[in-house]
Structure 1
C-alpha cells in the first residue's frame, strides 16, 4: 500500500520568516561558498560526527588565537559549564557573573553545581568594574571563581576584576562569546587566561549556526574537557573505529553530550578563511554608525576600547532620556520601516528563575537597572551595506526630529 504525500486538510502550512522579510534585517548568517562545499563533502564521506574535521578545526582555531589547545564543543554555554566543572570547585560555591549577560552564562554555573553571584555593571561599558566586584564580595565573601564577559566584543579588564575578587588568575573564566577578534593589550582573547569560551552561534563573528570552543594553555584542562564533552568517555568514536583502534573505553567521571560534529567543524574551518575580512567589515560599519549617530541628542554610541581592539560582534546604542522616544518605541519605529533590532541583554536579576536562583548584592544592581531601558542593538553583520546603515541612521535621526506618537512625557 502506498502512502499519500498530500498535506491533510487539517494541517495549515506556514511560510517561515526569513531575513529578507525585512529591508534591513537585524542579523543575517554569512555562510561562504567554501563552507557549503565543505559540508557537502562531509555529508558524502560517511562520517558526520566528531572526527578528523573537528581535530583540524581545533588546531586551526588554536593557532588563530595563539593558544596551546582548543577543544570544540556544542555551544558557548557548554564550554562555560565544562570549564567550571573542571575547576573542581566545592558544590554550591559562588561564581561572580555579570548581571548584564546572556542567561546561558548563569545557567552554566547552576548546571555545574555552583551558584551565581550577580555583579553590577558600569553603564558606560556594560561590564563590571573592580568597584562593583568588591561590592559583591563584601556582601557574600570571597567567591570561588569569576566569569568575565567581553561585552559586545569590547575587552574586559581581566586582571583588575580577578584582583578585586581576591582570586588567582586560573579562577577567572573568560566568556568570550562576543570576543573572537577582540584584543587586550596587544594579545588576542583566547590566550589571556586559563580558559576562554567562544560561541559560534548564528550571529557570532564566526557563525556556524551552533557550536563553541574552549581555548587553554593547560594540558590537564584540555584533556579533561575533551573527555567531559562526550560523557566522560576515555576515547571517542573516531579513534575507536580507526584501524588498530580498540572498542573498549572507560568512564571514570561524569560528562555531558557536548561534542561538535564534523559537519559543523568543516563549516567552521571554511568560515575561518573569511574571518579577517568579515571583522574588518564590521569595524567599517560600526565606524559609519558612530559617525552618523554621535551627534544625535540623547544617543550614546559605544566607546572604542582604550587598551585593545573591539570585535564589533554587537553595536549597542544607548537611548537616553534626552531622546524623544523611549527605547521600546524606537524599536517599534524601526520595525515600521522594515529595520530589525534587538536588546542585549535583559539583566539576569529580572528573569524569574535566575532572580530566585542567583544571589545579588543587598543594595541591588542599580547600574544594570539604569542601563537596561536604554540598550538597543542595531543591525551589524558583514552582509550589511553602507546604504542600509545610512537608512537605519536616517530613521533614528528622523524620529529625533519628528517623534510622533509615543514621545516621552
Structure 2
C-alpha cells in the first residue's frame, strides 16, 4: 500500500489537478517513525509479545482514559476474550445490532453464547431504546449486550443499557470504529465493562492487524491477558527472562490471540500521530458535508448532539427515487471514475449463517432493511486531500438529479 506522512492541511488543499484523479476508498498511513521502530524490533532478536507490547498497552490505556489495556490479535479476538471474561453460562443471550461487521456476532458464537439480533434506527444505523426494548420483548431478557459505535458515531450507552435492563457491567463496546469517539465528555475506552478496538489497516490507528481490550476492571484485564495466550499463567517473554522460570500452568481455555512486539512498536509510533490524523478526518468530514449538503437524494451523516464523532467512515444514504439511481449502480459508476467506495454493512439477518445461529425477533428488521439499500461509504482516510474530496462531491453531483429537470 502507498504510505506517506500527512498533515491536516491536506484536508484544505485547493490546488488544481486532473478532473478524474483516482481516489482510493482507504489507504494505510504508516509514519516514518513506525517504520524505524519496526526495523529496531526486527534487529533486537525478540519480535513476539514482549516489552514493546507492554509499553503500547500502557500508552494506549492512558490515551483512552482506561486503567488497563490488553493488546490482542484483532478486535474480533478482543470481543471474544472480553465476552469469555464475563463468565456467562453457555448459550446465554447477547444483544448485537444487525447492522455490524460479521465479526461482532462471530465473537459471541465463539465464546459459546447466542447472539440476539437487534434492529436499528434508520436515522443513525444504530439501535435506540425502542429497538432494544422490542428485541428483549420478543426473545427474553439478555445476559449481556454488545454496543457498536457505527462509523465512529457515539452510541447512547446508558440509554441502551437501561432499555435492555442491564447494568453497564454486562455491556461491552465494539469500538472498532470508535478510537477518538466521545460519548458526552468521555472518550470511548472505559465507559462500559470493556471496550474493544481494532488496528486493522483501514482503521483510525492502522497497524495492519491487531486489537485492544480496555477496561477499568483489573480482574477482567487479567483474564483477557491469560486468555490471549492459551490461558497460560506466564507468557514466553516473562518465562525467558534471565533468572525466570520456564514453569507455567493452564487453568482454563484460551486462544492464540497475542500481539507481537513488531506490531506494538508500529502502534506506539502511530499513536503519536493520532491526534493530527483525527483533526484531518474532522476537516475532511466537514468538507464533504459542505460539498454535498444540497444534493437531492443524499442523506448525510450528522454531527452528534452530544459527544464527538471519530469519522472512521463518512457514510451517506442514497435515496433512489430522489437521487435518480440506485446505490449499486452508483458504486459502479463511481468506480468507473476511479473513486472507491464501500458499504457498511450487509445486515447480519440477511446472511444465511446468522439466520441459523442467531435469534431474530419475529417483528423483523424494518429499520435496517430500509437503511441498507442506500448505504454508501465515501473515501475517508487522513491521506485524502481536499482536491480529492471535491472530486468525489463533483462526481456525486454530476451523477445525481439534474436541477433543471429530468434527464
Q: TM-score, normalised by structure 2?
A: 0.93
Deviation at 1:194, TM superposition (A): 1.4
Q: CA deviation at 1:140?
A: 1.1
- Identify the residue that residue 369 of structure 2 maps to in structure 1: 369
Please name the residue that 2:51 is paired with: 52
Corresponding residue for 1:207? 206
Q: CA deviation at 1:356?
A: 1.1
Aligned pairs for 1:51-130 (under 5 A) are: 51-130=50-129
Whether 2:358 is the aligned partner of 1:330: answer no
Alignment of 1:7-406 (within 5 A): 23-321=22-320, 322-401=322-401
Distance (whole Å) between structure 2 residues aligned to residue 85 and residue 62 of structure 1: 21
Secondary structure of 2:311's match?
coil
Whether contact under 8 Å (2:42, 2:262) holds in the other structure is: yes
Distance in structure 2 (CA, Å) of the matches to 1:377 and 1:281: 17
Secondary structure at the aligned position of 2:90 is classed as coil
Q: For residues 294 and 402 of structure 1, what CA distance do their matches in structure 2 show?
A: 16
d(CA) in 2 for partners of 1:200, 1:260: 11
- For the residue of structure 1 that corresponds to 2:147, the secondary structure is strand
Instruction: Check conservation: 1:227, 1:255, Cα contact below 8 A.
Output: yes
> For the residues of structure 1 that align with 2:93 and 2:21, how far apart are their CA atoms?
43
Once the two structures are superposed, residues 171-228 of structure 1 have per-residue CA deviations (whole angstroms, 9 ceiling, x without a partner) of: 0101110100001111100021110000001110000010000000011001110000
Runs of 4+ in 1 over 4 A off after TM superposition: none
Give the SS at the match of 1:309. coil
8 Å CA contact retained: 2:2, 2:27: no
Shift of 1:22: 7.7
Q: Is the 8 A contact 1:22 1:340 kept in 2?
A: no
Q: Which runs of 5+ in 2 are unaligned?
A: 4-19
By how many angstroms is 1:82 displaced?
0.2
Kept in 2, the 8 Å contact 1:180–1:205? The answer is yes
| Alignment partners' CA distance in 1, 2:345 and 2:135 | 20
Deviation at 1:143, TM superposition (A): 0.4
Q: Secondary structure at the match of 1:308?
A: coil
Number of paired residues?
Answer: 389
Q: Distance in 1 between matches of 2:55 and 2:335?
A: 42
Cα distance in 2 for partners of 1:22, 1:263 equals 35
Instruction: Name the SS of the counterpart of 2:323 in structure 1.
Output: coil
Query: Is this contact kept in 2: 1:75–1:212, CA < 8 A?
Result: yes
Within 2, Cα distance between the matches of 1:219 and 1:282? 33
Root-mean-square deviation (CA, aligned residues, Å) is: 1.7
2: CA distance, partners of 1:70 / 1:346? 31
Secondary structure class of the residue paired with 1:343 = coil
SS class of match (1:96): strand
1:273-307 Cα shifts (integer Å, max 9, x gaps): 10000000000000100111110001000011001
Contact 2:71 2:258 in 1 (8 A): yes
Give the Å deviation of 1:258. 0.4
SS in 2 for 1:159: helix
1:18-41 deviation per Cα after TM superposition (whole angstroms, max 9, x unaligned): 79x981000000000000000000
Indicate if the aligned counterparts of 2:21 and 2:388 stay in contact, CA closer than 8 A. no
Contact 2:147–2:157 under 8 Å retained in 1 = yes
Query: Offset at 1:244?
Result: 1.3
What's the offset of the Cα at 1:402? 5.7
Tell me, in whole angstroms, the C-alpha distance in 2 between the residues paired with 1:166 and 1:372.
28
Please tell me whether the aligned partners of residues 296 and 401 of structure 2 are also in contact (alpha carbons under 8 angstroms). Answer: no
**3-state SS of paired residue (1:67):** coil
1:231-251, Cα deviation, whole Å (9 max, x unpaired): 000000000111111000010
| Counterpart for residue 5 of structure 1 | none
Q: For the residues of structure 1 that align with 2:21 and 2:376, how far apart are their CA atoms?
A: 18
